[in-house]
């Protein structure tokens, strides 16, 4: 079974703090994704990475950056957290090579106060 893990289930941070969310997958998947999920808005893509050291912006990249130094690890960085970044953050991975199913981690519920 594909396993995607995220470093924290719940996180509370203050406005202006730098926040790191970590995601690790154990199936040698090429592609990794960061989404945020908000009521009524569904899942929105923040950033994705097709390979190590590669990154591409999704639909809502503003206020976020990412890092992928190793194939199994994809980090989401909130440079200066704001209250409108309070959300559920979901990491996903996908094998790539023509296979499209994405597998999700358990999510990190981030609250910015």
Partner 1 sequence: QKEVEQDPGPLSVPEGAIVSLNCTYSNSAFQYFMWYRQYSRKGPELLMYTYSSGNKEDGRFTAQVDKSSKYISLFIRDSQPSDSATYLCAMGGSARQLTFGSGTQLTVLP
- Contacts with 39 (C-beta within 8 Å, 6 or more apart), sequence order: none
CA atoms within 13 A on the CB side of 31: 17
Which residues in this chain contact partner 1 in the complex, by CB under 8 A? 4, 40-43, 45, 48, 58, 90, 100-107, 109
Rounded to whole angstroms, how far apart are CA atoms 11 and 84? Answer: 15
Write down the least CB distance from residue 89 to partner 1, Å. 10
Min dist. Cβ of residue 13 to partner 1 (A): 19
Give whichever of 14 and 57 is closer to partner 1, judged by the CB atom: 57
In the complex with partner 1, the residue whose CB is nearer, 18 or 41, is: 41
Residue with tokens 């790539």: 96
């Amino acid at each position: 079974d594909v396993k995607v893990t995220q470093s924290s289930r719940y996180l509370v941070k203050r406005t202006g703090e730098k926040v790191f969310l970590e995601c690790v997958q154990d199936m040698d998947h090429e592609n990794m994704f960061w989404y945020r999920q908000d009521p009524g808005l569904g899942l929105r893509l923040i950033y994705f990475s097709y390979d190590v050291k590669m990154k591409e912006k999704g639909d809502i990249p503003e206020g976020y950056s990412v890092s992928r130094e190793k194939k199994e690890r994809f980090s989401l960085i909130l440079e200066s957290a704001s209250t409108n970044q309070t959300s559920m953050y979901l990491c996903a991975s996908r094998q790539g090579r023509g296979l499209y199913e994405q597998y999700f981690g358990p999510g990190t519920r981030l609250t910015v106060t």
